Amino acid sequence: MTDNENHAPQENAEKDPSQWVTGEEPMTGPQRSYLHTLAQEAGAEVPEDATKAQASELIDQLQQQTGRGN
C-alpha cells in the first residue's frame, strides 16, 4: 500500500450558496462591509436586504469585475 492509498480523496468542500442551510439568513457584517468596498470600486449598488447566499454570489461577481478575486 502506498502513502496515496492511505489518504481520503480530496474533494471540493465548497457548496453552491443556494444549497447553504443558512443561506436565507441576512448577510453577515463582514459580508456587508466587503460588499460595500467591492461595490464602491465597481460602481454597483448593494441590496441592504440581501441574504447570506445572495451576498456570497454578489461578492463573487464583484470580485471578477474588480479583479480582487484573482
pLDDT for residue 16: 76
Domains of the chain, residue spans: 25-70
Amino acid at 57: E
CA distances for 61 relative to 7, 11, 49, 68, angstroms: 35, 24, 18, 10
> What percent of the chain clears pLDDT 90, i.e. is strictly above it?
60
Residue 3 has pLDDT above 70, yes or no: no
| Separation between Cα atoms, residue 4 and residue 26, nearest integer Å | 42
| pTM beyond 0.75, yes or no | no
The confidence band for 24, taking pLDDT boundaries of 50, 70 and 90, is: confident
Q: Position of cell 441590496?
A: 47
Question: Which pLDDT score is estimated for 18?
Answer: 65
Residues 6+ apart with CB under 8 A from 35: 27, 46, 50, 55, 58, 59, 62
pLDDT, tens digit, 9 for 90 and up, residues 27-57: 999 999 999 999 999 999 999 999 999 999 9
